[in-house]
Amino acid sequence: MLVHTLKRNKLAIFIGLFPALVIYLGIAIIPIGLSFYYSIMDWNGIGDMKVVGMDNYIRILSDDTFWLSVQNNVMIMITGLIGQLPLGLIMALLLNKGLRGSGFFRTVGFMPVVISSVMVSLIWGMVYNTEYGMLNGILSFLGLDSWRQNWLGDAKWSMLSISVAYIWQNCGLYMVIFLAALQNIPEEVNEAAELDGATGWRRTIHVTIPMLRNTIMVAVVYSISNSFRVFDLIQVLTGGGPAHQTEVMTIYMYNSAFMNLRYGYGSAVSILILLFSLVVISVINRLGREKDA
């Protein structure tokens, strides 16, 4: 491309890539390796580091609180999948019909995605407030006083309450992902379907949705990997309480490392999170591909 001498190019390429690479490798990539390294150590951050091999992993895997957090992650994953995706898909299908006011609904639908998780948590914290919260207020207004709950403090409801806030926050993202895919379906496909007599619901189910297969797969994978990353929302809403009932793996990791100052143990948890999410995603990918065949 450029006709400079090779040597000058090499130097320039090096100068151009070096600063970005140093920051990127030093802070985003090398620490993953360090996490592996710390995960076989026992260290409180001050004293000497002690090699303990697989001890941290063994202790984590025999801790009931950890398994409770795994269970809560599964809960978030499943409610996310069955809440966000169908809702986002239906919204996208409706918005794709060219109805009047679609722009408004899209704007409002995507709004929670732009707001920070902290803000979303704080707003929902007020909605769920036992005494003065919006939800209990509405229930009282409807004469359903017996339905009032301590939404975040009662272990029966707390994970479900968090899931609702989580769906509220992310649904709009899937809506626009599906909408973009719908708008990419060539007009001829719809016309051909119409000639074959496929209209309305039939066309949506037999023609449109199969066309979205790939996008749906991407959304499923993204939704799953996102569910393993949940932290802010729960940390701010409940901090993992009451009594670990809403703890997810990231919170468990945060508490081990930064509350109990067990950096080795915490690192091992972070590696396990990485492992779990990779396993789940590769299983999903395989299932998706098998169906293709």
Partner 1 sequence: MKKKSPLFQIFAYTFLSLFAIMNIIPIFWMVVNSFKEEQEYAADPFSFPETLNFSNYSKAWDIANMDTYFLNSLIITFVSLIVTVLLGALAAYFLARFTFRLRGFIYGLFLLGMLVPIHATLIPIFLIMQKMSLIDTYLSLILPYTAFHLSLTVFILEGFMRGFPKDLEESGVMDGAGIFRIFWSIILPITRPAMATVVILNFIYNWNEYLFALVLITSNSLKTLPLGLANFVGVETASYTLQMSALTIALIPILIFYLLLQKQLVTGMTAGAVKG
Of 56-64, 90-98, 145-153, 203-211, which segment contacts partner 1 by CB under 8 A?
90-98
Here's the x/- map for partner 1, 171-190, by CB under 8 A: it reads as -xx--xx--x----------
Place of tokens 């496929």: 198
**Cβ nearer to partner 1, comparing 20 with 293:** 20
Name the residue type at position 210.
Answer: P
| Touching partner 1, residues 192-221 (CB under 8 A) | 200, 218
Rounded to the nearest whole angstrom, what is the least distance from the CB of residue 5 to partner 1 in the complex? Answer: 11
Q: Does 279 bind partner 1 (CB under 8 A)?
A: no
Q: Does 20 bind partner 1 (CB under 8 A)?
A: yes
What gap in Å lies between CA 144 and CA 136, rounded to an integer? 9
Distances (CA, A) of 169 to 13, 16, 115, 203: 42, 39, 8, 30
Residues paired with residue 42 on neighbouring β-strands, in sequence order: 50
**Cβ nearer to partner 1, comparing 5 with 146:** 5
218 in Cβ contact with 177 (< 8 Å): yes
What gap in Å lies between CA 215 and CA 80, rounded to an integer? 17
Asked if the peptide bond before residue 31 counts as cis, ω within 30 degrees of 0, the response is: no
Question: Which of 207, 228, 286 lies closest to 81 in space, CA to CA?
Answer: 228
Q: Among 52, 207, 273, 280, which residue sits at the site for partner 1 (rule: CB under 8 A)? A: 273
136 in Cβ contact with 129 (< 8 Å): yes
Q: Does 57 bind partner 1 (CB under 8 A)?
A: no
Q: Among 51, 118, 160, 243, which residue sits at the site for partner 1 (rule: CB under 8 A)? A: 118
Rounded to the nearest whole angstrom, what is the least distance from the CB of residue 247 to partner 1 in the complex? Answer: 14
Q: Does 257 bind partner 1 (CB under 8 A)?
A: yes
Q: Does 91 bind partner 1 (CB under 8 A)?
A: yes
| Touching partner 1, residues 154-173 (CB under 8 A) | 168, 172-173
